[in-house]
Amino acid sequence: MDRIALVTGAGQGLGLAIAGRLHSAGFQVAVTDHRLDMAQRAAAQIDARGEGVLPLRLDVTRKEDFEAALAAVLQRWGGLQVLVNNAAMTKATPVMEIGPEEFDAVLATNLRGTLFGCQVMGAHMAEAGYGRLINMGSLAGQNGGTATGAHYACSKGAIITLTKIFARELGPRGVTANAISPGPMDLPSVHALVPPEKLEQIVQGIPVRRLGDPQFVADLVVRLASEDAGFVNGANWDVNGGLFMR
């Protein structure tokens, strides 16, 4: 079976780690970002020769962008088996200060982007009779967030629910849908968002006393993307150092 994946928000951070890990595992990867130059730099970083990578501009708030990306992938490789909905807008605005424009922008990127991706790519996969949808949730969507804004937390909680809906909808047609919910990761975006003194407080509140490893999350994506992961459907995988236990 072909192993072709598309990762949104792959221009940097966790998305770049995921795209790189999929490529190392033998997947051909469409590296997408809302900025084409970032997608191109990320693709070159993953494979300087450009073998097995395809940089694409994809604004996840636009369904037509997903449709165009799918067409580009099909033209290049003839199929698509894996979608990783990773693109996200992270804001830490206090809840009483969130305005309507910022609220809508966060939900449009995080939640609507996941919906459109699952609709467009999921329909293609269902028609082919096989696929893996992997959505990035967050600890914030489970515990209400500690360092992120209410709009971000709400969007991530909704993504976990949306994942279950697509798992039920597409499971009978060979397409699984699962979510991964990381806690605080050792990423530049986390260090930029959270002041050092607050980040240290957060780390001290994590039972394992450390930030998460993005490469482990990327490895988990590869595992869920595998052909033999077909009995994992509608699940939410916690990677949070014990901050949230069920």
Residue pLDDT, tens place only, 62-83: 999 999 999 999 999 999 999 9
Nearest to 20 by CA among 223, 179, 215: 215
Q: What is residue 194's predicted lDDT score, i.e. its pLDDT?
A: 81
Domains in the chain: boundaries? 4-233
Structure confidence by residue, pLDDT tens digits, 117-137? 999 999 999 999 999 999 999
Is the model's pLDDT at 233 over the cut of 90? Answer: yes
Architecture of the domain made up of 4-233: 3-Layer(aba) Sandwich (3.40)
Question: Looking at residue 23, what is its pLDDT?
Answer: 98
8 A C-beta contact, residue 17 and residue 41: no
Query: What is the DSSP secondary-structure string of 45-112?
Result: HH-TT-TTEEEEE--TT-HHHHHHHHHHHHHHHS---EEEE---------GGG--HHHHHHHHIIIII
pTM: 0.96
Q: Are 104 and 25 in contact (CB under 8 A)?
A: no
Mean pLDDT of the chain, nearest integer: 96
pLDDT tens profile 180-215: 999 999 998 888 878 888 889 889 999 999 999 999
Q: What is the pLDDT of residues 8-67, one digit of tens each?
A: 999 999 999 999 999 999 999 999 999 999 999 999 999 989 889 999 999 999 999 999
**Within a 10 A sphere around the Cβ of 21, how many other Cβ atoms?**
23
Give 145-164 pLDDT, tens digit per residue.
877 899 999 999 999 999 99
pLDDT at 106 over 80: yes
Query: Looking at residue 58, what is its pLDDT?
Result: 98
Exposure class string for 208-224: b at 16+ Cβ within 10 A, else e: eeebbebeebbbbbbeb
List the catalytic residues: 152
How many CB atoms are located within 10 Å of the residue 36 CB? 14
29 burial via Cβ count (<10 Å: 0-12, 13-18, 19+): buried
